[in-house]
Structure 1
Amino acid sequence: MSNKRRLWQIFGPVLCAFILLLVVFLIPWEKTFSKQTIYEAAASQNTTVFKGSTMKQEAFDEGYVPFYGSSELSRFDPLHPSIIAEKYQRNYRPFLLGGPGSQSLAQFLGMQGTVKQLRNKKAVVIISPQWFTKRGQDPNAFALYYSPLQACNFLLSAKNNVADRYAAKRFLEMPDVKGEIKNSFKQIAEGKKLTTFQKFYLENRRQMLRNEDNFFSSFQLRDRVNKIHQRAKILPSAYSVKALNRVAKEQAEMHTNSNNLGIDNTFYRTRLSKKVLKRLKGSQRNFDYVHSVEYGDFQLMLEQFAKQHTNVLFIIPPINGKWMKYTGLSSKMYQESVAKMEHQLTSQGFENIADLSRRGSEKYFMEDTIHLGWRGWVAVDQAVRPFMKQPNERYNYDLSNYYFSKKWQNKDNVKRINLTDKERLKAK
């Protein structure tokens, strides 16, 4: 047997398999998902779905509404938005996007694949003031949500403007951005056009990632369908805020009876041992949410919504009042950060804001130290329900590059903008 034949027998199958795999991932593959799969994905908070495009695109075309947030979306008590929407057959279904650590920068990147599907549509954003630390996006958390597919989408549509240059610079600070994608971000950050090779690479890389997305985005979905159906049974048959608050009170009483902080028993037992509690007493007295790079990252989300003419409801939650007192977190500082967020929103035309930030001392409003639950979710629904009933209109926003600046990120004593009804109508 000749050496060539022997080599072919050894390496031929491997080479053929590689070529076949390359063809499979480079040729465009179209796939549609069943309604049941999309329904499961909407509540799963699956990171593969978050980082992909196809599942979200189909869901938004089917009328699902993105609920952008972080770890509060995981608090699946019976008053959760997904369960309320299911119970009362709302004309929308929340599609939960985010989990622990999914801050503005990760959310902005994840939004890149659904520009067309969210044009002139609605969205809900739950802002976590805890995102607004000095450094902003946690790099380790960003790694969990980093999507090379969405990075390719961003790079291939990027322009030489303040927003895209700022975004590219921020992505370059994240350790998981590597290789040719990182080199391409450098080009955009410096205000340069992508090279011919970079465009070629990104187009082919994007096609491979699209095929991977089509193949794998329905795998390992967190099955919460039974949980939604079971917990929906706890809710009153007819919608009533009073009745929902009664259920919230009953549920909260059962689940917070092990401590005097109004914290869910399981969270308290597993996360707050006596040793941990002792260490945390007074530990947050120097926390600062007023000075943060996160305000620039948050502006990226606003830029994306403006580009899509998306009508957005922003929800600003409180912090557990007893927890604030125990850890020494400054209420004055917290309200300063909220005022700064609201100023950034309203000055640019984002006027749908549900400010719940002062309600952290209300009994059963929070599920643990910083997350909404029970009566808090009822309050969220009181904002979401009328917002969803509003007719869909094309929203035009008046954005300012000032909000990317270090000056804004470090600005103190920002005042809320209180618009009268007449001024709001004039602004629209």
Structure 2
Amino acid sequence: MLAIDRDSSTPIFQQISEQIQQEIVAGSLSAHQTLTSTRTLAQDLDISRNTVRRAYEQLIIEGFIESKPKAGYRVVAHLPSIVHQSETAIQNRYIYKNLIDFMETFDKLEFFPQKDWSRAEQKMKLQGLQHVQPANGDLDYRIQLSTFLKRTKQIEVTPDQIVIVSGFNEAAGIIHTLVDFEAVSVVDPLAPNAQEIWKTMNVNVNFFKLHDDYQTWSKPPISLLTANHTFPNGNFLTTTERQSLAKKLIADHKYIIELDTDGTFNFEDHPSDSLMTYAPENSFYYSNYDDTLGSSLCIGFLVIPTKFQSKFQRLYQSFPSRVSQWQQRIIANMMADGSLTAYLRKLENVYNQRRKVLMTSLKMAFGEKINFIGSNRGTFIVSKLDTDKSVKMLCQIAKEHHIIVGDVDRSWQKGPLPYKIIVFSIRQVRIDEIKIGIRKLSKLWNL
């Protein structure tokens, strides 16, 4: 009989799938053996039938069982290869059950659209894949992505302007090859990898603040900024500021790289547009699925101006894309059938609820000692603290009690800051964890 721990942080469907997997591996359930029906198992465990279905679907994806029409679920004839994890791997996997993670240390994939992904994958298998994909990625995916960008970011581009990449490092290399610049202006603060990558190309880096005067940072031919939701201070450009900047770029024949990796979710009334909307021939746009489908997916996309299309094809046509075409086509199918949009809408509702609870909890815990800065966008909240204690000390105290918060001092090039900030992400914490974690921090930090 399967055992369900209703107080565990592990979802019930996952508890069921793991226990059945263990029985299959141990031989308690043999090849071709039929599993208990979803209706019966749901009644036996006093849980929803959908929960049992989800557990069985997980086992199908992992290759342990199969489903036959009118025959229910049964164990497969040949089990998938199982690699026994090291003690360290097992420890790393399960330590997160007792961790309150405000910094996305481990992606739980709690709301990953597993059923929609599996359905899109089955459709992809029926469609088939070409043996060698184009240099800029799967065409069907780029077609769907161009429509998706127009709807969500007001970016009107053709599929040929989109280049599918494994991450920003690859995108940066492509941009450098197309524009051929010796110096770049980079917004400060920014995620360290986006700052450091230019040094590997022997490019001189000048740093500027997002709202610095245009003339102070626009001398290099190209600049990198995040107009939607700057990590880690939540700063952004208004529509008026974007339009003004676009006019200057066009007049001065300069280029902008817009890094948009945390601007999917907008909790404000006005839409989130892109600089490429106003200066399409002077803007490069990069984004990925880190804040939606998970950072381990490692699929990003770069939009290039039309003037660089022929140069890209000339330089890269002999180097077909190595980004998973399998995954690209799955995402394309999810865009086409609307399931990705529905998933993003669900995430936005969940994150908005978490965001409100987090901000209320922080205010209740720290009162006038804490204020929030930045925009109401993205999946993190920037808190400004009034304390004599260092950010490093506060983060260390929290970590010792299994709470991870964001020390982002290394994201600034021009420091130290005149004030203390800590970033709280809402991606990997449930509402109950938020309340528990902030209550603990209130006692531990004693601001």
> Larger helix proportion, structure 1 or 2?
1
TM-score (norm. length: structure 2): 0.23
Kindly indicate whether structure 1 or structure 2 has the higher relative contact order, using CA contacts under 8 Å at least 6 residues apart: 1
> Larger strand proportion, structure 1 or 2?
2
TM-score (norm. length: structure 1): 0.24
